[in-house]
Amino acid sequence: MNKIKYEYTKTPLSYQITEYDCGQTTFLNALRYLFKRNEIEPQITKMIMQNTLDQTNKEGEIGKGGTSIYAIEFLAKWLNDISNVSNMKMQIQVIKGKDVNTNNKDLLCCLQKGGVAIFRVWQSEEHYVLCTNIDATYAYIFDPYYLNINYYDTDTECEIIKDRAFEFNRKITKTRLDEFSQKDFSFVDGENREMLLINRK
């Protein structure tokens, strides 16, 4: 990959602070990647914070079920609508089902234009990550769940990267993402198989 000249008017991508806020953190990371600090409107970050962590666990504890697919889709629609009157111009496309794969033409076009994608993947349970680039072999992902750099040493399809804080912290083979399994970073299968494509307008 080409060296990127960082703009320090942006903020490094962030890690989740609980076991449950991967969806919230990944949505905010999409904004961090796409916009400078002085371009990000507080009303938009507030709306993301208010409408994520909407699921309860089996004991009825608020937020401990993470962020639902319905909340993610609501935010996508709201952000598309608010973009018409906001200074943060963006376009979000929701892709579901069998069209969710690393060779999807809309996904590749989005990334080539400098956009990002939010993937719903498997990681012990359903989990949200941010994809910032894809090449012939790998997807370059920011996973908001902090892990030791040696965590994937025995997994040849996953690599932890520590020196690209504005772009990605995982290098994952496209094969792993596209396989139908419950291995880390495989796309979630079934009715929750989904990705969001986010571009600046």
CA pseudo-torsion sign 145, 19, 184, 151: positive
Taking 60 as the threshold, does the pLDDT of residue 1 lie above it?
no
Residue with tokens 């012990």: 124
Domain 22-200 homologous superfamily, CATH: Cysteine proteinases (3.90.70.10)
The backbone region for 166, taken as left when phi is positive above 0, alpha when psi lies in -120 to 50, beta otherwise, is alpha
User: How far, in Å, CA of 69 to CA of 97, rounded?
Assistant: 13
* Cα separation of the two ends of the chain: 25
Q: What global pTM score does this model have?
A: 0.93
Res. 197: pLDDT tops 80: yes
Mean pLDDT over each residue of the chain, to the nearest integer: 95
Task: Give the integer Cα–Cα distance in Å for 48 and 157.
Answer: 32
**Per-residue tokens: 60:** 């009825």
Q: How many CB atoms lie within 10 A of CB 112?
A: 10
Summarize pLDDT for 8-65 with one digit per residue, the tens: 788 999 999 999 999 999 999 999 999 999 999 999 999 999 999 999 999 999 999 9
Please report the pLDDT score of residue 84 as a whole number: 87
* Each residue's pLDDT tens digit, 125-142: 999 999 999 999 999 999
**Beta strands at 90-96 and 194-200: parallel, antiparallel or unpaired:** antiparallel
